[in-house]
A and B are shown apart, each in its own frame.
Chain A
């Protein structure tokens, strides 16, 4: 069905520009240089880890490294250090990948879970009441200290923004150099149908604002602090 509103608008701006419509297939975008691909390229995973650590700490992130055997105790110390009373966790099969199946089971009574079968209101209220969230990131970008997460039914959008304290678990193998590499991964996953999502978040440290006299205030609408845990043997 033709959308008249669209056609009229696009015809009008094409006429104004003096250029015909439907030329793009003959003139696709070809970048003038390959800086997005080559910047920070050729680094080993160890080098990327060091760069990621430095850049994450520069944006007020607590940066931890551990392995699958020590991960559970690191999570426990996070919970006690932040004095977290109302924890929210995602619904995902990643628990077993990280050797956390037991840890997760032990929390099934005390923690809330973002549940695919729950309503918008229920999940959002759980996240809003939570003073802590422990979630899984897809990638960590070394250059900027950024975690990336695609929304899934078990780890919704509000999961990352409503709780007060936030911890994100990332495998060391998923440290990428820059945002370009993450885009390649997401584009591939979406086009192959492996990933079905409405939303991808790139999160770089806790929320902040300089709106009052340009004084940096950390923690405005989103979490007040962020912890990244890089799991070395994954």
Chain B
């Protein structure tokens, strides 16, 4: 299995995305709306930079002592009668869950939104069981499932690329006869899913944060489907990336506040739940409780320059400020993890052969780094990926292909090239002669005579002028762009 969502080459995906005007408009609309909401929510809280310091500290601390926290969490789950399985690979995780489903004789499985279960291709594995049906119950995931398992395009808003008419068409296949009004369609989904929920015998959820000192799972949602998934079926399986852990309820509370404000501009989402195995006297909630803790490539980051990527709390804010994401949308990245976080994380999880082009899908404007609530230096990590690839190239000539793909990303798509040149001076840094790229020295190079192999496709023909340090940062670009949009200026 892979986190890959497409077999097509990156540039083909970019071109396809460039032609999807509805998607582009939707992403732009979402970015604009989220910009305002997120900024207001953070301003209202006050001291946002200090909150970021705290968020970063919590995440760095747990990553530093990850084995200890995982051990504490696992022991607490077990003490309460739950089961914990540590899976090194996606296959191990999926097989373990499949065996539980078989053992429990599960016929109707309900799932709440979880990127990690998408990562391990769990739906496919479970649906291969005889007499087993499965329902994604988050409204967006339900729409994707019923639309022949279409791929999500955003980690918080998976159906951003779909319009109401397309959704109406999907629902018509299920017997819906109403209009394309979102409220009417949501009511239909509520009724349809509720009937299924009431018969469900196995629930599968993700996990925003595992609470080490209590063995509870923290889930942050808006619809209520995750809570029904944790209330109705007798068995619950939680699937979590191994890094999604906090010391106690107190740190969970801090991160929930930061996550909600960063993801959707809410102080808290409708439901923040802290939940475990049913205790004596309770009649609902899981009487059988399993937690699967997944590595699946995450440990590749441990002890390396990429370790900060494990701090991520999946708020999606970096997608919502990214000019490249704005242009190519989620599908353009070809990974279930798109946007700046996806461009950093995907090569860590699944290697440069598959995702070596993603670190080039960036203008390095640093808007992602600036907005990240847990202060992951995303644009520096993108530069680092490029450096690592170049170092590999020196040792392994076959790597040339990957790097040429990267060069192609920058030069073959007009918009990406334009952004690489105009977005920020940093964009071309890895093409410079500098052996070791640092943020400081990036600003001191003005001209690139001969790029290492990566840039050769371009510099063999001509010298690549290093773009001047741009006075226009992402905010000013964004404001100008928004104004132009409102005035109807087209860049096509």
A contact residues vs B (CB 8 Å cutoff): 3, 5-6, 8-14, 16-19, 21-24, 27, 29, 31-33, 35-36, 39, 55, 59, 114, 116, 118-120, 122-125, 128, 141, 143-146, 151-153, 156-158, 160-162, 178-180, 182-184, 186-187, 190, 196-215, 217, 219-223
- The docked-state distance in angstroms from the alpha carbon of A153 to that of B57 is 38
* B276-305 near A? 1/0 per residue, CB < 8 Å: 111111111100000001010001101100
- Cβ < 8 Å to A, chain B residues 250-264: 250-254, 256-257, 264
Q: Cβ of A119: which chain B residues have Cβ within 8 Å of it?
A: 283
Shortest Cβ distance from residue A114 to the other chain B in the assembled complex, whole angstroms:
8
Is the CB of B30 closer than 8 A to any CB of chain A? Answer: yes
**For the complex, what is the distance from the CA of A143 to the CA of B277, rounded to whole Å?**
30
User: How many A-B Cβ pairs are below 8 Å?
Assistant: 277
Q: Select from chain B the residue with minimum beta-carbon distance to A22.
A: B68
Q: Is A128 a contact partner of B198 (Cβ separation < 8 A)?
A: yes
Q: Bound state CA distance, A153 and B161, in angstroms?
A: 43
Let me know if B140 and A211 touch, CB within 8 A: yes
Q: Of residues 206 to 255 in B, which have CB atoms within 8 Å of A's CB atoms?
A: 214, 216, 222-225, 227-228, 230-232, 234, 242, 247-254
B-side contacts of A190, CB under 8 Å: 214
Q: How far is the CB of A58 from chain B (nearest CB, A)?
A: 9
Q: How many residues of B contact A (CB 8 A)?
A: 104
Bound together, the chains give a CA A217 to CA B248 distance in angstroms of 33
Task: Determine if A161 and B224 form an interchain contact, defined as CB atoms under 8 angstroms apart.
Answer: yes
Known pairs A24-B68, A124-B198, A198-B275; A208 contacts B285 (CB<8 A): no
Report whether A24 and B256 are in contact in the complex, using a CB–CB cutoff of 8 Å. no
- Determine which of B45, B248, B273 lies in contact with A202 in the assembled complex, contact meaning CB atoms within 8 Å: B273
CA separation between A114 and B30, bound complex, in Å?
A: 41
B97 at the A/B interface (Cβ < 8 Å)? no
- Interchain CB contact under 8 A, B190 and A221: yes
Inter-chain CA distance A67–B302, complex, in Å, is 57
Contacts A/B (CB < 8 Å), 29 sampled: A11-B67, A16-B302, A18-B303, A35-B54, A120-B284, A124-B231, A128-B194, A152-B282, A157-B284, A157-B285, A158-B228, A161-B228, A184-B250, A190-B214, A198-B275, A198-B276, A199-B230, A199-B276, A204-B267, A207-B271, A208-B222, A209-B186, A210-B222, A210-B264, A213-B26, A214-B30, A214-B157, A220-B224, A222-B228
Contact of A222 among B247, B268, B271, B282 (CB under 8 A): B271
Q: Which residues of B contact A8 (CB under 8 A)?
A: 86
Q: Which residues of B contact A156 (CB under 8 A)?
A: 231, 282-285
> A201 to chain B: which residues have CB within 8 Å?
227, 271-273
Q: Which residue of A lies closest to B185 (CB)?
A: A212
Most B CB within 10 A of own CB, among A5, A11, A144, A209: A209
B53 on interface, CB distance cutoff 8 Å: yes
Decide: B227 and A220 in contact? CB cutoff 8 A: no
Is there a chain A Cβ closer than 8 Å to B101's Cβ?
Answer: no
Q: A183-B250, A204-B270, A211-B143 are in contact. Are A220 and B302 (CB under 8 A)?
A: no
Name the distance in Å between B83's Cβ and chain A's nearest Cβ.
10
8 Å CB contact of B279 from A12, A197, A205: A197
Q: Which residue of B197, B250, B271 contacts A203 across the interface (Cβ within 8 Å)?
A: B271
- A196 CB, min distance to chain B CBs, angstroms: 6
Point out which of A118, A157, A184, A212 has the most chain B C-beta atoms below 10 A from its C-beta.
Answer: A212
Residues of B36-79 whose CB lies within 8 A of A: 45-47, 50-51, 53-54, 57-58, 61, 64-72, 74, 78
On whether the beta carbons of A120 and B283 are closer than 8 Å, the reply is yes
Contact pick for A9, options B61, B86, B143, B227, CB 8 Å: B86
Contacts of B160 in A (CB 8 A): 214
- B312 in contact (CB, < 8 A): no
Q: Do residues B295 and A116 form an inter-chain contact, with CB atoms below 8 A?
A: no
- The complex places the Cα of A24 from the Cα of B74 at a distance, in Å, of 15
Partner of B167, one of A33, A206, A207, A212: A212
Most buried by B among A151, A186, A199: A199
- The answer to whether A209 and B223 touch (CB under 8 A), given A6-B86, A220-B190, is yes
A212 touches B164 (CB 8 A): yes
Contact B271 A35 (CB under 8 A): no
Q: Per-residue CB proximity of B80-102 to A under 8 Å, as 1/0?
A: 10001110100000000000000
* A158 & B284 in contact (Cβ 8 Å cutoff): yes
Write out the residue numbers on chain B whose beta carbons fall within 8 Å of the beta carbon of A215. 182-183
* B198 near A13: Cβ-Cβ < 8 Å: no
Residue on B nearest A150 in the bound complex, by CB? B274
Which residues of B sit under 8 angstroms from A114, Cβ to Cβ? Answer: 283
In angstroms, Cα B252 to Cα A85, docked, is 39
Question: Which residues of chain B from 154 to 168 have any CB-CB distance to chain A below 8 Å in the complex?
Answer: 157-160, 163-164, 167
Given contacts A29-B251, A116-B283, contact A221 B137 (CB under 8 A): yes
Residue from B139, B164, B272, B275 within 8 A of A209 (CB atoms):
B139
Closest to B276 in A: A198
- Is B266 close to A, CB under 8 A? yes
User: Besides the contacts A5-B85, A32-B54, what 15 more A-B pairs have beta carbons closer than 8 Å?
Assistant: A3-B78, A36-B253, A59-B270, A157-B275, A178-B257, A179-B256, A180-B250, A199-B276, A203-B271, A207-B222, A207-B270, A219-B186, A221-B193, A221-B197, A222-B224
